[in-house]
Amino acid sequence: MATIFVIFLGWILTKKQKFKPTWDVVFIKVLVTLGLPCLVFDGFMSDTSVEQVKTECAVLLTGFLFYLIMLVIARYFYLQYDKDVQDALGMSMTFAATSFFGIPIVTALFPGSESKIASNIFNVPYHIFLYSLGFIIMGKVNHPVHISTDQPVKAVNKFVYVGQMLKLNYKKIFFNPILIATIIGFIFWVTQLIPGINVVPDQIKNSSAKYSPLRLDNTFPPLFTVTKTLAGVCTPLAWLAIGINLTKGKITHILKDPKVWYGTIMKTLIAPVIGLGLTCLVALIGKATGAWTTSTMGLTIIVIMLAAPPASVIVAYSINFNKETLLTSNLTLVSTLISIIALPFWIIITTALGATSLFS
């Protein structure tokens, strides 16, 4: 209920011209560069165990499987359209707005460090593939290049430009603030399992417990206070940005496009179903082998993340490469509405399925 109210607040304030329509870009920039990295890092400042690490590895495995499979098969859902539409809808179906839509909702549903850890572990393959293979697919040229007849015709290598841009785009993979915070936080979190590393006395509760020097929430509480404060802006800013974004475009005109509806159904229903099936498969393998367990919360987090609307990066790619720009923008708008409506449905489904013996 709070989610819907704050999103509606962002929408109504923009309609009343209290907010500017361009503020969503600013809000998302603050989220990506400050709020979400702090939220990610803070999530790893918690106790851990070997079993919990195994559980998070199952989430990581599910993420890699989903993105690898979807990058291969997604376009085949759209063979009735031309190749540009196949690429645009396929990548929109594969990559969801997990950072500014998924994570704030997940952390609101599941307060505590475990949900933050699981959602950010799942996002590791997301960031890797979004800025690499997602970039390549959206950047490829599907139509012949037309050259003026009064100029000599030369062979054009359509992948040269993409290859050059990809070298620059690797910076967005390895220097992405969210991914950096995830990697550093994960290392700090896992190293707590090293025997004898817990030597720092409890600085907060003055108990007899001892912690790793890398547990900065205990070793250096003022820093943790700063990051926790910045992390607190994530949820309200994200929901307000969604509300602002919903004011863009004429919804009645957009709803007449069958491609938008088809893409929305595939994004908000079919993609989560595929993720749900893969999560069940990974949980089944883990249970059969005893190698790992998959939690109910992990299942819900994965499905909610995949049911989010398309990533804004995909829209940026479509604009940059002039590939179905209007379609991806309209799809993002409609699927945002449907994602909000479908959210309770997915929570009920995953909670019911998570109550079975397959999940812990």
Going residue by residue through the chain, which has 360 residues, state the pLDDT in tens, using 9 for 90 and above: 566 788 788 889 988 888 988 888 888 788 878 887 888 788 888 888 889 899 999 999 999 999 999 999 999 999 999 999 999 999 999 999 887 788 888 888 888 888 888 988 898 898 888 877 888 888 777 765 444 444 444 444 555 655 665 566 667 667 778 788 888 988 998 899 999 898 888 887 777 888 899 988 888 888 888 988 888 887 788 778 878 877 776 667 777 889 999 999 999 999 999 999 999 999 999 999 999 999 999 999 999 999 999 988 888 788 777 888 888 888 888 888 899 889 889 999 999 999 999 998
Residues 6+ apart with CB under 8 A from 142: 82, 83, 84, 87
Residues 6+ apart with CB under 8 A from 52: 114
At residue 246, the pLDDT reads 73
Looking at 110-233, list the stretches that DSSP marks H as alpha helix, in order from N- to C-terminal side.
Answer: 113-130, 133-139, 158-174, 177-190, 216-219, 221-231
Geometric angle at alpha carbon 61, from 281 and 76, rounded to 5°: 70
Residues 6+ apart with CB under 8 A from 9: 240, 243
At residue 1, the pLDDT reads 59
Q: Which of 164, 158, 162, 130 is nearest to 145 (CA)?
A: 158
Beta bridge partners of 210: 201
Residues 6+ apart with CB under 8 A from 266: 77, 89, 93
Q: Is the dihedral of CA 221, 231, 19, 316 positive or negative?
A: positive
How far, in whole angstroms, is CA 196 from its chain's centroid? 36
* Cα distances (angstroms) measured from residue 129 to each of 172, 313, 320: 11, 12, 18
- CA dist., res. 130 & res. 118, Å (int): 19
Beta bridge partners of 200: 211
Q: Which of 221, 286, 243 is nearest to 58 (CA)?
A: 286
pTM confidence score: 0.80
- Residue written as tokens 């009343």? 16
- Mapping DSSP to helix (H, G, I), strand (E, B) and coil, where does residue 246 land? coil
Instruction: Answer yes or no: are the C-beta atoms of 307 and 272 closer than 8 Å.
Output: yes
At residue 152, the pLDDT reads 45
Instruction: Answer yes or no: are the C-beta atoms of 352 and 296 closer than 8 Å.
Output: no
- Residue written as tokens 């020097």? 213
Looking at 16-102, list the stretches that DSSP marks H as alpha helix, in order from N- to C-terminal side.
Answer: 23-30, 36-43, 50-73, 83-94
Length of the chain: 360
Q: Is 249 left (phi over 0), alpha (psi -120 to 50) or beta?
A: left
Instruction: Answer yes or no: are the C-beta atoms of 209 and 186 closer than 8 Å.
Output: no
